[in-house]
Chains A and B, each alone.
Chain A
Amino acid sequence: MQSLSNRKKVLEQKPMNFWERMYLPAIAKGLGITIRHFFKKIPTVKYPEEKRPYSKNFRGQHSLKRDEAGRERCTACGLCALSCPAEAITMIAAERKKGEEALYREEKYAAVYEINMLRCIFCGLCEEACPKEAIYLDGPHVTAEYLRKDFIYGKDKLVEPAFDIKKLIQDKSN
């Protein structure tokens, strides 16, 4: 049949000549390529010890943010769970008691906040829905686990560590 694009290249098959039949030059050529690669820069990135730079808008593991005073921003309003297309987020709200003002920003807070990382599709809609700027998908990749239950991340994994300047200085001086 006639080619439509007219770019078809027909290969000819000729019988091999003497040098080609000897195979030796071809073996030397192949070995040359292999040996050349010994001296090249290794492109493999040994993840997770070594990490490639992430793009600025990469969406990885969620983190629940704190405000400038170190209080949790999340008020358990449920808008992230509502917007979540994969229904990965659940939470239980609780009322802030007297004396907990330094822990939680508003009078209501999330006592339990769970994200099922197997369900999550990292679309970032929770980030967009949050009225309190409390959740961001700014973490690294979610790591692999052996058990399914370990993929349900609670507040212990999600809430960002409190910023403690004294501890930071102490660590630096040590």
Chain B
Amino acid sequence: MAEEGKFKVTIDGIALDVAPGTTILNAARQIGGDIVPPAMCYYSKLEGSGGKCRTCLVKVSKGSEKDPRPMPKLVASCRTTVMDGMEVQNITSPDVVEARKGVVEMLLINHPLDCPVCDQAGECKLQDLGYEHGADQTRYEFERRTFERIDIGDKIQLHMNRCILCYRCVYVANQLTEGREHGVIHRGDHSEISTFIENALDNDFIGNVIDVCPVGALTDKTFRFKNRVWFTKPVEAHRDCPSCSGKVTLWYKGEEVLRVTGRKDEFNEVDEFICNTCRFDKKKTADWTLEEPTPVDKQSVINANHYENFTPPAVIKEDTKLQAANVEQLARVERLK
């Protein structure tokens, strides 16, 4: 029996007591691990998000203690609240896995397969989802939906072709910034993210649309084609910022900061939104106080360049005595290099 005022919910056989009104997705996130349904559009920090991408579908095999009938169809876990005694199947149900494969295929119908070019590759949720659930071949034979390129300012790059219409960026613009600056125009298959009469986005927090975008539709123009994500090394850092928390992740290549993003948790959601000054203008190590290397998931491609120290120890010990004794020879070798 559940605690007083709490609902007992069982997800993939793991029981948990949660407060009434919690969604199945958030209950699963409290448990953590493999059983958390993936989410492309739901963002816990953005009010009203979710219910669009259908990747978080789960099967409710028992509605509640009072009404134990299963729900007739798979439900979107980000929008379905728990009931007392509810039993949910996620990865234990073949139906869910099959449905999710279909959803991924749907999302990829109009998404261009240009991962080698895309800057998001390596930290793209759709890419991960495709690897985990998708088919290895596309069955789509028709022309993909394409758009004219729209310039939305010098800091943010919009690739409308890659957009999966999760609406997260629209919620960011609505909820974080004053005055709505961009939105979705047209309907259904023709919908696209755009600014009103192609206004440049210049609000102080608008850079966060880059972080919330699950695919490469909104990317950092200052990082455009600079490097691949898996060759850069993430380091946690902070600074005294008058407008935001100043807690960020710096993406290093050698000594150079290539990109600044907000800190993301295991569900790929930023902890605290950061301002444009931190994101686009502070790209020197001197601007930041470094904390520690960002913990990277073991399976992540970013781990391909795994490291433990800030500066890895030299392979050969420096021997100044030896170097001084062989100045002439070293100079000769240096010339030959």
Contacts and interface: CB of A to CB of B under 8 A. Distances in A.
A155 to B, nearest CB: 17
A147 B336 contact: yes
A74 to B, nearest CB: 9
Interface of A: 75-79, 81-82, 93-95, 106-108, 131-132, 147-149
Residue among B114, B225, B228 with max Cβ neighbours from chain A (10 Å): B225
A107 B225 CA distance: 10
A157 to B, nearest CB: 19
B325 interface: no
B117 A78 contact: no
30 contacts: A75-B116, A75-B117, A76-B225, A77-B115, A77-B116, A77-B121, A77-B228, A78-B227, A78-B231, A79-B116, A81-B231, A82-B228, A82-B231, A82-B304, A93-B225, A93-B226, A93-B227, A95-B225, A106-B114, A106-B116, A106-B117, A107-B117, A108-B117, A108-B225, A131-B115, A131-B116, A132-B116, A147-B336, A147-B337, A149-B337
Contacts of B336: 147-148
Contacts of A79: 116
A133 B227 CA distance: 21
Contacts of B115: 77, 131
Contacts of A108: 116-117, 225
Describe B's contact surface by its main secondary structure: loop
A78 B228 contact: yes
Given A75-B116, A93-B226, 11 more contacts: A76-B225, A77-B228, A81-B231, A82-B301, A82-B304, A107-B117, A108-B116, A131-B116, A132-B116, A148-B336, A149-B337
B224 interface: yes
B230 interface: yes
A77 B301 CA distance: 13
A75 B113 CA distance: 13
Contact of A78 (B114, B224, B230, B337): B230
Contacts of A131: 115-116
A142 to B, nearest CB: 19
A93 B117 CA distance: 10
Contacts of A78: 227-228, 230-231
A75 B121 CA distance: 13
Contacts of A132: 116
A77 to B, nearest CB: 3
B299 to A, nearest CB: 15
Interface string B36-69: 0000000000000000000000000000000000
- CB-CB nearest 6 A-B residue pairs: A77-B116, A78-B228, A93-B225, A108-B117, A75-B116, A108-B225
